[in-house]
Chains A and B, each alone.
Chain A
Amino acid sequence: MKITVAALQMPSEPGQVAANLERADALLTKAHQADTALAVLPELFNTGYGLHPDFALHAEGIEGPTLRHLSRRSREWRMGIAGGFVERDGRHLYDALALCLPSGSVHVYRKRNLVFWEPFRFRRGRSPLVVPTPWGRIGLAICADMIQRPVWDDYRGRIDLAVIAAAWPDFACRHSTRAHWLFGGLGPLSAEIPAKVAGDLDVPVIFANQCGVTRTTIPVLGLGLVQEIADRFTGRSSICDARRNPPVIAEGGPRLVLSDILISDPRGPHSWRSTSPSVPAVFSSAPG
């Protein structure tokens, strides 16, 4: 099966949910015009990624404005849409990635590997998530998840397509371009890891990253003692098809990355079974 997919690379203004959603909608419209079957937005595209004092102000559930809008677009345009948001479940907040399907179902994955300041603001997710779709089984991951080997071991042989939403910084001062002494080597990995996953798991990978400036906060001994970098997100969103070489990789700045991918033998929703008790749908609902 050949489908057109899109990685939407965009900057997000911290705390400006409405403006960010409008910006995302403009990119989604272009993706729809390109007959895209599946579009992926970056991590926390609606709230912006950075150390907010309180993400609870912008956290939402399945009925929140962001997911309501994405789900409506998905049904209206018959296009799968994945996007990162702050999920609220009772008292808890999660760095989450929603996958809205044209059928109206919404699946939510919670980031499992929180880094830097994230454990101070979010609760850690517990499970991988494999979503059966008309295009095959999709495995979800968020940013720092992709640097952890167990994440891909969980998905190996169980998915037909991997979706990664990220807000991956350069770890270099945007003024002096000097790389951070400890994390400076991590920035370039944003372009390398999706291609490695595609080859390793033999599945296409859609990687959507933020772009634009940011301030990377690195807690040293807790949030009271931090190091901050006047940083920027790497961009370099990509679509990697394991059967094709090389991958399509964007440069910095807002971009719509489009590519056709081949999915071999998609199992589809009817023949799909959860491959493990540890791979449940964290949340799934089909609004009427």
Chain B
Amino acid sequence: MAFYVAVGPRGLLFRAGMILTGVMGSLSYWLASRRRTATLLTPGSWPAALPVAEAPSDLPAAPDDRALAGPVPAMHLDEAAGEEFGESVSDLSGLVLLDPLC
């Protein structure tokens, strides 16, 4: 199989590594899957209910309400097209990033 993009002169090593880990991984996976019960956990048996909040029922849906979607668009790479095609990248930095693992 060929790569869709050039991955440089180390592509052959990359390919060989993928084949090797593919073979060893498949063996490891097969052994693990034999030990696994074929019974799928039913949703009711999940350890905890998912506390997903209901969305407000009065959410605006009209295109004119796009301004309510969040911060002012931060990126307009194509100003001319931007009039015809609304495009934005909203900064949601309020969301919590994971702490570094090390």
Contact = CB atoms under 8 A, between A and B. Distances in A.
Contacts of B100: 174, 213, 230
Contacts of B14: 182-183
A18 B24 contact: no
Contact of A149 (B2, B53, B77, B91): B2
Contact of A91 (B37, B68, B87): B37
Contact of B5 (A114, A192, A215): A192
Contacts of A65: 43, 46, 50
Contacts of A148: 1, 3-4
Contacts of A197: 4
Interface of A: 2, 4, 10-11, 13, 17-18, 21-23, 25-27, 29-35, 56, 59-61, 63-65, 68-69, 73, 76-77, 88, 90-93, 114-124, 146-152, 174, 182-183, 185-186, 189, 192-193, 196-197, 211-215, 219, 221-223, 230, 239, 241, 244-251, 253-261
Interface in B5-53: 5, 7-8, 10, 13-14, 18, 20-22, 24-26, 28-29, 33-34, 36-38, 40-43, 46, 48-53
A124 B29 CA distance: 10
Chain B's interface size range is: 35 or more
Contact of A189 (B5, B25, B33): B5
Contact of A219 (B25, B90, B97): B25
21 contacts: A18-B50, A18-B52, A30-B69, A33-B66, A65-B50, A88-B40, A92-B33, A119-B26, A185-B10, A189-B5, A196-B4, A212-B98, A213-B97, A213-B98, A223-B28, A241-B85, A251-B89, A258-B90, A259-B86, A260-B85, A260-B86
Contact of A35 (B3, B65, B89): B65
Contacts of A63: 42-43
A213 B85 CA distance: 33
Contacts of B66: 33-35
- By Cβ-Cβ distance, the 6 closest A-B pairs, closest first, are A119-B25, A34-B69, A260-B85, A259-B87, A254-B95, A120-B25
Given A120-B28, A149-B2, 17 more contacts: A33-B59, A33-B61, A33-B65, A33-B66, A56-B36, A63-B43, A77-B59, A121-B29, A123-B29, A123-B33, A196-B5, A211-B97, A213-B98, A213-B99, A253-B93, A254-B95, A256-B90
